[in-house]
Amino acid sequence: MSSYRPQDIEQKWQKHWADTRAFEVTEDPSKPKFYCLEMFAYPSGHAHVGHVRNYMIGDIMARCMRMRGFNVLHPFGWDAFGLPAENAAIKNNLHPEKWTLDNIAHMKGQLQRLGISYAWERELATCMPDYYRWNQWLFTRMFDKGLAYRRRSNVNWCESCQTVLANEQVVDGGCWRCSTVVTLRELDQWCLRITAYADELLAAAEGLDQWPEKVLTMQKNWIGRSEGARVRFENIEVFTTRIDTIYGAMFVMLAPEHPLVEQFAEESDDRAAFLAKAARFRAQDKSGRMTGDVEKEGFDTGRKVMNPFTGETVPVWVANFVLGEYGTGAVMGVPGHDQRDFEFARKYDLPIRVVVQPDGHPLTAETMTEAHAADGVLVESGEWNGLPWPEANQKMTAEAASRGVGEGTVQYRLKDWGISRQRYWGTPIPIIHCPSCGMVPVPDADLPVVLPTVTEFTGRGDSPLAQIPEFVNVACPKCSGAARRETDTMDTFVDSSWYFYRFCDPHNDQLPFDPAKVAYWGPVDFYSGGVEHAILHLIYSRFFSRVFRDVGLVTIDEPFTRLLTQGMVLSHGAVMSKSKGNVVDPDDMIQSFGADALRLYVMFVAPPEKEVEWSDSGLEGAFRFLNRVWRVVIHLAKAARQEPAVAGLAFDDGERAMRRKTHVTIRRVTGDINPRVHLNTAVAALMELVNELYLFCEQRGVRPLGVDDEPAAVVERPETAFVLREAIEALVLMLSPFTPHMSEELWEYLGHTDGVVAAGWPACDDDVAREESIEIPVQVNGKVRGRITVAADANETDIEAAAIEAPSVLPYLDGKTIVKVIVAKGRLVSLVVK
RNA sequence: GCGAGAGUGGCGGAACUGGCAGACGCGCCGGACUUAGGAUCCGGUGGCCGGAAGGCCGUGGGGGUUCGACUCCCCCCUUUCGCACCA
């Protein structure tokens, strides 16, 4: 056996794993299951070390849990539909399918060279008909349940390219390709009724105790539940959370999109001017209007409506900051108690009335410089005067309801999910439009609706599918009359919202998956991926999981028990990207130092959640460490032949200390991997063990440890041989999740033929790990003044006595009185003197 | 503006329940081996004072609780992320 040459052994073991289908699993009720998943990949072409990091985290977990005796499902697949493929097609005249499949092939090779323990038999790609067929299947069920519906709504439109743009394709308000200003266009869009689950998604988030708080907060904000009331000012319904301020409602404002705007325009003196003003507001940069970057503006419609509480009539304005898509698209203007209304009123010289007075200094409309949004007591509110805020809100909501002018309601920021894409490379929406039957879902027997082959991609015009008569023209499944297929395709987030269930049964051609298989494997026990998916992917998946539940295929609510959001790997302070030219290619690293060193390094460099800066010298350090491991194991494998059998051995102090280190390390590494997932400190612990081992060898004269092939002298003393053997075997096994190739190779070299999984995870013997004597510091008035060595099980009295007698402590006690002694058992002694 | 997180040596980071701050690695310095060393092994490495023993200071800043604070509380600064006219 010679020096460590990763390239040779890595290929050998990767081939072995592939040949033996080492990571394929079946349901086995006799074993505890562990479903370990990393977010699947968009096949952009090349994996970089940022991907590597995510996949490694999962692989460490999967490999470790496998050794701990769990039945581990660890699959991988491809989020293979999407715009980049279509754009590449337009640019390079390459079919999206070819581009996608080529990329998958390349990236799969990269992942395989990393030695990740995937059950490749379960690999899936969402662009294949045997996958997207089930998107269609589920869609038709959602259609039947009213969870999928069509609605007219605004989309981004580029006049020059004559096409719809996704939000991500709008750059600074212009088309990403030709910079033409993007306009809004009304189109019929397919939507999924996620809002039907808004309350459940919000409430159930409380139970996700193994998700990062940050992600839960983001989801909570995204759902944006808000309790309030709808109140009718004659024919204008407004939404407010502060009905208690309604006596201060001095005007009503409509969003420029509000349907009444058009009607009021018709009835106005100058229809054209009216509409032009509204149109200008609508055209204001969408993001600017939404974020408050645009100045508040409005105009008086000339209309007046009656405030249902005061009986006063108030003017109706159109205001650019009122959002058409939230609430009722109309609000009451309460300038005294809403900052936006306040600014608006001051700008247009509208009256302000204070109706909630805070404690202490009373407010007056004339002198106030900002709205008073906080609580207080109602004034100038007729019969409600004197009521404090929360109570007034409740009572006045009830009053509005009893008088039929409003009712309490809950609003969500969350909107239904628009899934229509006027694009080619996605799942065709399985609906047929029939002139006599209306919208008819494609029957199961006719699924999948296969994406036809399109040969020309121009990026212009409507959906590419609309231009294929053979695709569009179809007989109605109900009446057999001439009908047209839907030509929109689905948002790719549909694909990724349930793939984790498909992995449980990826080849099923009767159902999306066998419910029994998902009942065994689900939910995903450990899910890792980028925090950029904190909202969309993770909330859609929670939604789909419930839809599958409600169609009877799964019994659980939540798809992911534990979520880890891994930090990005930066290079020169920036996210890696081809355009910045700072991509670190894993293949280059593997070539130089091997996959194992790369794996170890990305795990060691920082905690998984944290963002890290790539460092070449850090990788070299990991490589150096592996060489150290290699040398010590190779040499000791021959020198320490003692098989593990402890009976009759009498260890000396040094040997006991070495064993203690081994077993303490087992305990630390085990917990650091799972549950803690502090993979960096797990590696650090293994490094400590190796350092200790080298010192132990040095002390025992068990050399050589050089790189040469000099044969090692056999260790004669059986106790020493045993201790060494125990240490290196534990080391090799614990390292194997991180460096599987090297560990398998060394394990084999150590004389084992069944591989590390069969060997199982090493167990910590608590008796061996227990300290015999411990050194503890002694503090005098909070400063460490000495150390004492006591038996590990010494009682407090003995420890106290030893502390007071410690030579280095004595000078600090001279002439003082000890007022207090605190003994933190096993940790320290604290003396307080005067 | 609102919300959440972070701030520790030259650098990445560790410290799990309030109990020896700086584990482990990178870098740097020294020694051994050596024709050589960018290999390997051993040692050192927060700052200041000191020959040493040892002492003082030290986890963004300021205050507090405690025998004891990186850790808990209050105020402030910096920074990252998310949300952001949602009525």
Gyration radius from chain A CA atoms:
35
- A313, A307 contact by CB (below 8 A): yes
In 3-state terms, what secondary structure has residue A316? strand
By C1' distance from the Cα of A224, the closest nucleotide is B86
Cα–Cα dist A706/A636, whole Å: 12
Amino acid, res. A317 = W
- What pLDDT score does A707 carry? 45
The answer to whether residue A458 scores a pLDDT higher than 80 is: no
CA of A705 vs C1' of B34, distance in Å?
16
Phi, psi for A697 (deg, rounded to 5): -60, -45
CA of A356 vs C1' of B54, distance in Å?
69
- A176, A132 contact by CB (below 8 A): no
Q: What is the mean pLDDT of chain A?
A: 90
Q: Look at A461 and A44; give whichever has higher pLDDT.
A: A44
**Residue A75 preceded by cis peptide, ω within 30:** no
- What pLDDT score does A787 carry? 81
A159-173, A416-430, A444-458, A680-694: least confidently modelled range: A159-173
In 3-state terms, what secondary structure has residue A385? coil
* Range with top average pLDDT, A140-154, A409-423, A505-519, A806-820: A505-519
Percent residues over pLDDT 90 in chain A: 65
Protein residue minimizing CA–C1' distance to B83? A221
* ipTM given for this complex: 0.95
- What pLDDT score does A286 carry? 58
Give the mean model confidence (pLDDT) for residues A484-510.
Answer: 96
Protein residue minimizing CA–C1' distance to B81? A214
By C1' distance from the Cα of A668, the closest nucleotide is B16
Give the mean model confidence (pLDDT) for residues A588-599.
Answer: 95
- Structure token pair of residue A378: 């109602």
By C1' distance from the Cα of A617, the closest nucleotide is B26
Local structure of residue A713 (DSSP, 8 states)? P
- What pLDDT score does A121 carry? 97
The answer to whether residue A705 scores a pLDDT higher than 60 is: no
Protein residue minimizing CA–C1' distance to B40? A706
CA of A583 vs C1' of B20, distance in Å?
43
Instruction: List, in sequence order, every residue forming a beta bridge with A152; answer none if it has no partner.
Output: A188
Q: Dihedral of the CA atoms A657, A661, A662, A663 (nearest 10)?
A: 100
Residue A509: pLDDT band with limits 50, 70, 90: very high
CA of A783 vs C1' of B71, distance in Å?
18
Give the mean model confidence (pLDDT) for residues A530-536.
Answer: 87
CA of A799 vs C1' of B71, distance in Å?
26
A720: nearest Cα among A701, A747, A748, A743: A701
The answer to whether residue A403 scores a pLDDT higher than 90 is: yes
CA of A613 vs C1' of B26, distance in Å?
13
Residue A531: pLDDT band with limits 50, 70, 90: confident
- Structure token pair of residue A153: 């709504």
Protein residue minimizing CA–C1' distance to B15? A681
- What pLDDT score does A644 carry? 66
A56-60, A86-90, A720-724: least confidently modelled range: A86-90
Cα–Cα dist A343/A351, whole Å: 12
Cα–Cα dist A435/A439, whole Å: 9
- Structure token pair of residue A11: 């290929």
Q: Over the stretch A138-193, which tens digit does the pLDDT of each residue have?
A: 999 999 999 999 998 877 777 777 777 766 566 666 676 677 777 778 888 899 99
The answer to whether residue A284 scores a pLDDT higher than 80 is: no
Give the mean model confidence (pLDDT) for residues A367-390.
Answer: 89
By C1' distance from the Cα of A697, the closest nucleotide is B41
Give the mean model confidence (pLDDT) for residues A79-91.
Answer: 88
Q: Over the stretch A23-48, which tens digit does the pLDDT of each residue have?
A: 999 999 999 999 999 999 999 988 88
Percent residues over pLDDT 70 in chain A: 95
DSSP count for chain A of H helices, then E strands: 27, 34
Q: Which nucleotides of strand B come closer than 7 angstroms to any CB of the protein?
A: 3-5, 12-16, 19-21, 23-27, 39-43, 54-56, 67-69, 81-87
By C1' distance from the Cα of A217, the closest nucleotide is B4
CA of A630 vs C1' of B69, distance in Å?
43
* Range with top average pLDDT, A382-391, A810-819, A823-832: A382-391
- What pLDDT score does A704 carry? 47
